C-alpha cells in the first residue's frame, strides 16, 4: 500500500513538473517558430535578421571563438553580483541597527538608483581602464542599491510580536538578526536579489558595449560591424540563456531557504 502511494505521488510530481516545463517552453517555441516562418516567407536577408536555425548553427560553430568572452561576461556578472549582494545586505543591517548610518548613506544610495549607468561607465573606464575592474564596479553600483532597499523594506515588515518575544528573552542584536529578522525578511530580500541579478547582467553587457574588446557585449558590436548577424544573435542568445538560468537558480535557492518559514 505504501509503495503504491509513493508511486502515485511520484507520478503526480512528474506530471506537474512536465506541465510546468511545457507551459514555460510553449511561448518561446512558438515565438521562434513564427520568427523562422516570417524571415523565410518574406525572404529577409541573413545580414538583417537571421533565422533561428542559422543562429543555433553559429552558437555551435563559433563556440570556441565566443567561449573566452562568454567566460568574461559570466564571471564578471557572478563576481560583481556576489559583491553587490554582500554590500547591500550588510549595509541594510548596519542601517537597521544604527539610524545615523542610514541618514548618512541613504541619499547616495538613492542617487545610485536614479543615476543612468550609461553616464558612469565612460568615467569608470577612464579611471580604472578597459579591463574587468571598471565593469565589476559598474555591476556593483547598478545592483547593490536595489538589494539594500528591498532588504530594508523587508526588515521593516518583520513581525513585531516575534521581535518583542526576542527582546523579552534578552536576545542580542546578532541573535535577533539571525533568528528572527533575517528569516522573516528572506522573501523581501530575495525580491531585491532577483531584480539585482537582472540589473547585474544589464550593467555588464552595457559596459562591454560601451568600451573594451572582451565580453559578449563587445563581440556583438564587432560582429554587427562586419554584418555577421548569426554570430551576433548567438551572443544575444548566450546572454539570454545565462540570464534565465541565473534568475531561475536564485528562485530555486529562495524556495529552499524559505520553505520552512
Taking only the tens place, the pLDDT of each residue in 172-208 is 888 888 888 888 889 999 999 999 999 999 999 999 9
pLDDT at 260: 63
What value, to the nearest 5°, has the Cα angle with vertex 100 and ends 95 and 104? 85
Q: 6 falls in which pLDDT band (50, 70, 90)?
A: low
Mean of the pLDDT values across residues 210-226?
Answer: 89
pLDDT at 17: 63
pLDDT at 174: 80
Scanning 115-181, the segments in alpha helix (DSSP H) are 121-128, 132-156, 160-168, 173-176
How far, in Å, CA of 44 to CA of 51, rounded? 9
Residues 6+ apart with CB under 8 A from 222: 213
Taking only the tens place, the pLDDT of each residue in 14-25 is 676 677 777 777
Q: Rounded mean pLDDT of the chain? A: 86
pLDDT at 157: 84
Taking only the tens place, the pLDDT of each residue in 60-117 is 989 999 999 999 999 999 999 999 999 999 999 999 888 888 888 888 888 888 888 7
Taking only the tens place, the pLDDT of each residue in 230-251 is 999 999 999 999 999 999 999 9
222 pLDDT higher than 70: yes
How far, in Å, CA of 151 to CA of 88, rounded? 8
Q: What is the largest CA-CA distance in the chain?
A: 74
- DSSP label of 26: H
CA 125, 131, 132, 135 dihedral sign is positive
Under 8 Å between Cβ of 204 and 138: yes
How far, in Å, CA of 153 to CA of 151, rounded? 5
pLDDT at 100: 86
Which residue is it, cell 565593469? 135
pTM: 0.86
Name the more confident of 1 and 89: 89
Which of the residue ranges 38-42, 80-84, 158-162, 191-195 would you say has the lowest mean pLDDT? 158-162
* Burial grade of 192 (CB within 10 A; 0-12, 13-18, 19 or more): buried
Amino acid at each position: 500500500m505504501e509503495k503504491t502511494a509513493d508511486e502515485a505521488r511520484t507520478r503526480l510530481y512528474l506530471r506537474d513538473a512536465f506541465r510546468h516545463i511545457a507551459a514555460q517552453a510553449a511561448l518561446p517555441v512558438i515565438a521562434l517558430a513564427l520568427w523562422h516562418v516570417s524571415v523565410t516567407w518574406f525572404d529577409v536577408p541573413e545580414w538583417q535578421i537571421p533565422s533561428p536555425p542559422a543562429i543555433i548553427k553559429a552558437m555551435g560553430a563559433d563556440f570556441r571563438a565566443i567561449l573566452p568572452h562568454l567566460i568574461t561576461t559570466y564571471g564578471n556578472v557572478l563576481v560583481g553580483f556576489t559583491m553587490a549582494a554582500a554590500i547591500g545586505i550588510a549595509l541594510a543591517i548596519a542601517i537597521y541597527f544604527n539610524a545615523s548610518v542610514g541618514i548618512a548613506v541613504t541619499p547616495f544610495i538613492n542617487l545610485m538608483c536614479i543615476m543612468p549607468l550609461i553616464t558612469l561607465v565612460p568615467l569608470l573606464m577612464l579611471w580604472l581602464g578597459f579591463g574587468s575592474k571598471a565593469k565589476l564596479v559598474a555591476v556593483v553600483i547598478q545592483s547593490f542599491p536595489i538589494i539594500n532597499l528591498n532588504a530594508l523594506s523587508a526588515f521593516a515588515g518583520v513581525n513585531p510580536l516575534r521581535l518583542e518575544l526576542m527582546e523579552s528573552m534578552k536576545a542580542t542584536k546578532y541573535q535577533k538578526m539571525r533568528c528572527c529578522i533575517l528569516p522573516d525578511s528572506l522573501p523581501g530580500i530575495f525580491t531585491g536579489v532577483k531584480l539585482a541579478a537582472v540589473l547585474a547582467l544589464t550593467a555588464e553587457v552595457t559596459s562591454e558595449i560601451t568600451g573594451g574588446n572582451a565580453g559578449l557585449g563587445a563581440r556583438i558590436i564587432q560582429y554587427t560591424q562586419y554584418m555577421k548577424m548569426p554570430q551576433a544573435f548567438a551572443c544575444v542568445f548566450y546572454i539570454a540563456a545565462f540570464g534565465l538560468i541565473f534568475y531561475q537558480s536564485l528562485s530555486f535557492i529562495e524556495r529552499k531557504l524559505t520553505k520552512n518559514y
